[in-house]
Amino acid sequence: MRLATYNINGIRARFETVKTWLEEQKPDVAMLQEIKSVDETFPRELFEDMGYAVATHGQKSFNGVAILSRLPLEDVTRGLPAGPGPGGEADDHARWIEATVIGEEQAVRLCCLYLPNGNPAPGPKFDYKLSWMARMRARAEALLTLEAPVVFAGDYNVIPQMEDAARPDAWRDDALFRPETRAAFRRLQALGLTEAFRTLEPRPGFYSFWDFQRGAWQRDDGIRIDHFLLSPEAADLMTASWIEKEARAKEKPSDHVPVWLELAA
């Protein structure tokens, strides 16, 4: 089972980019973020004609997540549940969608997420980011009780380690790299979740995002913020994980590139 997570930065702007990518790379499942479209205007039929089942949780002009699957897709739920404690209230941002994909050998629960950016930090947007991460941790804890393969994939807006930024000093005060953000990410991992790519590739210099400004792509001034976190049962099925860096050099690219996970499922 070949899974990809991809922040497409707008389906209207990049429909042809996504369509070509699906035709060339043929993921079994594509988990998309920042579709920037309500469910009714997402080009569902065009992807269905390509053989994909489509589940969306959209929002006008920003946010929005989707799962496209060539495998059977069941039990779709939308929205991150409320969490415990202050700041744990549910919200109307379209940032989370879950579904179960049925592989040849194994069913896998997929959680496609677009975690808040949080800037400027400190401030209300940063508080929202941290409370959202606490809600995600509560949901992950609940899903782990299933003792089944669960995959949490998407744009986390988190730079986990120094090695995940070409210029880490430039990000020290940014919400993506602040110590509170990285600590919240580690609390997710402490539940027993495996960070797929970094487990298989410990070397620095691998990024999934390059800003459109200041020649970031040309200078390889990137950061790694798109991740797969895996339950123990999913980690046992992992055979490969990689970043499709070359997608950033294609025509009309997103500022993110796809990140891949291969499971024996």
Mean pLDDT for all residues in the chain:
97
**Predicted local distance difference test score (pLDDT) of residue 87:** 74
Please tell me whether the overall predicted TM-score, pTM, comes out greater than 0.95 for this model. yes
> Which residues have C-beta within 8 Å of that of residue 29, sequence separation ≥ 6?
1, 2, 3, 4, 67, 68, 69, 70, 71, 101, 110
What mean pLDDT do residues 247-263 have?
A: 98
CA 216 – CA 94 distance, rounded (Å): 29
Catalytic: 236? no
**Predicted local distance difference test score (pLDDT) of residue 206:** 98
CA 265 – CA 251 distance, rounded (Å): 33
CA 200 – CA 87 distance, rounded (Å): 35
Closest of 265, 208, 259 to residue 236, by C-alpha: 265
Of 52, 114, 156, 207, which is the active-site residue? 114
Q: Using one digit for the tens of pLDDT, what is the confidence trace for 73-121?
A: 999 999 999 987 767 888 999 999 999 999 999 999 999 999 999 999 9
Of 6, 28, 52, 155, which is the active-site residue? 155
Q: Using one digit for the tens of pLDDT, what is the confidence trace for 115-151?
A: 999 999 999 999 999 999 999 999 999 999 999 999 9
Q: Using one digit for the tens of pLDDT, what is the confidence trace for 189-206?
A: 999 999 999 999 999 999
Catalytic: 207? no
What mean pLDDT do residues 231-248 have?
A: 98
**Predicted local distance difference test score (pLDDT) of residue 88:** 84
